[in-house]
Structure 1
Amino acid sequence: MKLFKYIFIFTLFTFSVSGQGGLKIAYVDMDYILEQIPEYKQASNQLNLKAQEWRTEIESRQQKIENLKAELENERPLLTTDLIQDMEDEISFLENQLLDYRNKRFGVSGDFIVQKRQLIQPIQDQVFNAIQEIGESRDYDFIFENSADALLLFSARRHDLSEVILKLINRNSRGAGTETADIIEDIEDYKSVEKAEEDELKQEEKALKEEERKSEREALIDERQRKRDSLRDARQREFEERRARILKQREERQRERDSIKNARENN
Structure 2
Amino acid sequence: MLSISVHAQRGVRIAYIDTEYILENVPEYQEAMSQLDDKAQKWKNEIQGKLSEIAQKRKDLSNEKVLLTNELIEEREEDIMFEEKEILDYQQKRFGPNGDLMIQQKQLMQPIQDQIFAAVQDMAESRKYDFIFDKSADVVMLYSAERFDISDQVLRAITRSSKRRQAQNKAQRKAAEEEETVPEINEEQEAREKALEEKKESEGKCCRKTQTRNFSCKRG
- Range into which the TM-score falls when normalised by the shorter chain: 0.5 to 0.7
C-alpha contact 2:24 2:30 (8 A) present in aligned 1: yes
Please name the residue that 2:53 is paired with.
Answer: 64
Residues 210-249 of structure 1 mapped to structure 2, 5 A cutoff = none
Residues 145-224 of structure 1 mapped to structure 2, 5 A cutoff = 145-147=134-136, 149-175=138-164
1:78 aligns with 2:67: yes
Please name the residue that 2:21 is paired with.
Answer: 32
Letter of the aligned partner of 1:54 in structure 2? W
TM-score of the pair, normalised by structure 2: 0.68
CA deviation profile, 1:117-151 (whole Å, cap 9, x unmatched): 11111000000000000111112121111125111
Give the drift of 1:82. 1.3
Letter of the aligned partner of 1:70 in structure 2? K
C-alpha contact 2:119 2:154 (8 A) present in aligned 1: yes
Letter of the aligned partner of 2:77 in structure 1? E
Q: Mark the CA change 1:148 to 1:59 in structure 2 (over 3 Å): closer, same or farther.
A: same
Give the drift of 1:45. 0.7
Letter of the aligned partner of 1:84 in structure 2? I
**Larger CA deviation: 57-66 vs 137-146:** 137-146
Please name the residue that 1:210 is paired with.
Answer: none
Q: 103, 111, 118: which is aligned to 1:114?
A: 103
C-alpha contact 2:20 2:136 (8 A) present in aligned 1: no
Distance in 2 of aligned mates of 1:149 and 1:22: 26
Please name the residue that 2:80 is paired with.
Answer: 91
Gap runs ≥5 in structure 2: 1-7, 166-220
Letter of the aligned partner of 1:158 in structure 2? R
Please name the residue that 1:23 is paired with.
Answer: 12
- What's the secondary structure of 2:132's corresponding residue? strand
Please name the residue that 2:125 is paired with.
Answer: 136
1:104 aligns with 2:79: no
Distance in 2 of aligned mates of 1:88 and 1:26: 62
Letter of the aligned partner of 1:113 in structure 2? M
Equivalent pairs: percent with the same residue? 49
Letter of the aligned partner of 1:120 in structure 2? M
Give the drift of 1:21. 6.6
Gap runs ≥5 in structure 1: 1-18, 177-267
Distance in 2 of aligned mates of 1:104 and 1:172: 36
TM-score of the pair, normalised by structure 1: 0.56
Structure with the larger RCO, 1 or 2 (CA within 8 Å, 6+ apart):
2
